[in-house]
Amino acid sequence: MVLRKKSKLVREVRDGKVIYTFSTDAVNDSGPAPALSLAQGEGSLSGTSSQMVTLLVSAAAIGVALGCGWFGYEALINPDVSVWINQFLPTVNPSRSGTTTAQTPEQIQLSLQSQGSTPGDRLILSTQPDLLLPLLTHPPECQDCPQQISELRVYRALQIPPLLQLFQTQRHFRLLERQSVVGPSAEDLIAPEWMTRPNRATPTPLLPLTQIQPYLASPSTGGTWLHLSGVQAHDSGRIAYGQILYFDPQRPRLQRLLSWQSSTGEIPQWQQRDQAPAELVVDQSLGLEPHFDIYQLAPGLNHSFQLELLNLGRPAFANADFEQSLQLARSGLWSTALLLLNHVKQQYPQYWSTLAQSQLEAIRLHAQVTQRQAEQPALNPSDRLIALLINGSWQAALALYEASPGDRAAMHSVLESHGGGLMQRVEAALSLNPVQTEIIAEPAEATITWGALILTAQQGQGEAATWLSKRVAKNSPTYTRIQDLAESLISVTVDGSASD
């Protein structure tokens, strides 16, 4: 509806006079409005375009504001976002660029090489994923020697929102942690009998650590277990040494839990028994003498872990036979200790605990070695004789000695050179009471006989006779028989020297 104004002539009488005026009325005109001119249309379209541009600019400004707000929020709650954006910004402090910028693995490799470092093989630590990168160097005093690990670096993949992931074609990592690596000195190692200790008055070089590997079989702790290792060669064998590391992706940090060494050159191995903590076994056996250090995995401070050496010095519960079993084990009579401790387990099941079972299994591990050695025929009787004595098989060893008169010179030699471990076993076996002796089924007379023979070889017939007289009456047939065996050992040695 359109209202139009319409004028008309009106006759009026004012003061006796007739006058004519114009009057304007509003008229409703529902007819079609006149068409706009071309100029009016162009002005209207121009105004509409301006409004659309204004709306678009406003929407873009709002989008940018929202995007900046979202980006700022993500950067506030996720430090990886800040690290990610740094790759597009100029580096202000090059020395800190490794910790504040994101790089691909290839870029990390090139960056380290440009700084004069030699990266080793990368290891994947977890599903984050996290990368472990060892840095290698040559020993300063030997440029031709194999490279050794001087530093460990841990890198973590950036955890950025999916929207930002659209802007990267490769996964980027940031430096999480770096640790220097220092090997032990030669004097830090507990040297076996065949290794000569260096002069402590002069500094000894540090031994290199050359390998790092993850454990394929390890406890389920949510992290990654690794071992650093090196090897020290010797004419009579080699000794391996190193460190046990643990990486916890939740903390996250690389934790050094243990320095270890192995006289057999073996890497420590994990073992898991039912209802018992995971155990790390370090083999320090020397020749026919078994020795295993067993470390149990235990909780540490701040939700971390630690490795505790299993103690065979104190029984899991107060019991005389249990204490005697551990004493036998510490003296090297592992099979004898196992027999007696199994008897304790049968007698006192109500007191048997996880710790008691762990001590039993540690003794069993050693006993399996000594029993296997004693049961395997050696190439020569003298080696088998030592294996039987180490196992505490006194009666079987005596039978072998009596049946091998032609090998007694060699037997004298190995008895003389074996050290005090054999006599320590004899004294421990003789400390058993009659009931305990019956349990292990080894007659005391055979044990006493070997005490006299070992002392004869190591300290002479006089010392052996004095020791024997305190345990056997001189006028007894047993004393005479043992003395005759000792005479046979000495006479063979004298005859051999004379013939030489």
Give 260-283 as a DSSP string. Answer: EEETT-PPPEEE--TTS--EEEEE
pLDDT at 205: 78
CA 311 to chain centre: 21
The one-digit pLDDT tens for each residue of the chain (500 residues) are 555 555 555 666 666 665 656 565 555 555 554 444 444 555 555 567 777 767 666 666 666 555 555 545 455 445 555 555 555 556 555 444 455 677 888 988 998 999 888 999 999 987 778 899 999 998 777 767 788 999 999 998 876 555 555 556 677 888 989 999 999 988 777 555 434 455 555 566 788 999 999 998 889 888 999 999 999 887 667 889 999 999 988 888 899 999 999 989 999 999 998 888 999 999 999 889 999 999 999 988 877 899 999 999 999 999 999 999 999 999 999 999 999 999 999 999 999 999 999 999 999 999 999 999 999 887 789 999 999 999 999 999 999 999 999 999 999 999 999 877 999 999 999 999 999 988 888 889 999 999 999 999 999 999 999 999 999 999 999 999 999 999 998 887 655 543 44
Question: Would you say residue 434 lies in a domain?
Answer: yes
The answer to whether the CB of 242 falls within 8 A of the CB of 266 is: no
Q: In which domain, by residue range, is 418 found? A: 377-499
Residue 215 and residue 268: Cα distance in Å, rounded? Answer: 10
The verdict on residue 203 lying in a domain is no
User: What is the DSSP code (8-state) at residue 191?
Assistant: -
Sign of CA dihedral 318, 321, 323, 329: negative
- Which residues, at least 6 apart from 405, have a Cβ–Cβ distance to it below 8 Å? 488, 492
Going along 67-122, which residue ranges are E strands?
118-119
Task: Look at residue 29 and give its three-state secondary structure.
Answer: strand
Do 416 and 492 contact (CB within 8 A), yes or no? no
Query: Helix/strand/coil (H, E, C) string of 39-82?
Result: HHHHHHHHHHHHHHHHHHHHHHHHHHHHHHHHHHHHHHHCHHHH
Q: Is residue 93 part of a domain?
A: no
Calculate the alpha carbon distances from 112 to 83, 89, 103, 172, 346 in Å: 19, 20, 12, 16, 62
How far apart, in Å, are the Cα atoms of 347 and each of 339, 343, 350, 362, 435? 13, 6, 9, 20, 14
Amino acid identity for residue 269 in this structure: Q
Residue 196's pLDDT is what? 47
- Sign of dihedral through CA atoms 290, 296, 300, 303? positive
- Record the tokens describing residue 74, joined without a space: 């993500």
* Closest to 74 measured CA to CA, from 199, 159, 171: 159
Note whether residue 75 is domain-resident.
no
Q: What is the pLDDT of residues 352-397, one digit of tens each?
A: 999 999 999 999 999 999 999 999 887 789 999 999 999 999 999 9
- Residue where the block lists tokens 């008309």: 8
Residue 112 maps to a domain: no
The answer to the question of residue 125 being in a domain is no
In a domain, 372, yes or no: no
- The count of structural domains within the chain is 1
Q: What pLDDT, on the 0 to 100 scale, is given for residue 497?
A: 45
Cis peptide preceding 219, ω within 30 of 0: no
The CB-based long-range contact list for 160-168 (8 Å cut-off, 24+ gap) reads: 160/78, 160/80, 160/81, 160/84, 161/74, 161/78, 161/81, 164/81, 164/84, 168/84
Q: Cα–Cα distance between 291 and 298 in angstroms, integer? A: 22
**Residue 117 resides in a domain:** no
The residue behind tokens 């006028």 is: 475
Angle at 469 between CA 464 and CA 475, to 5 degrees: 125
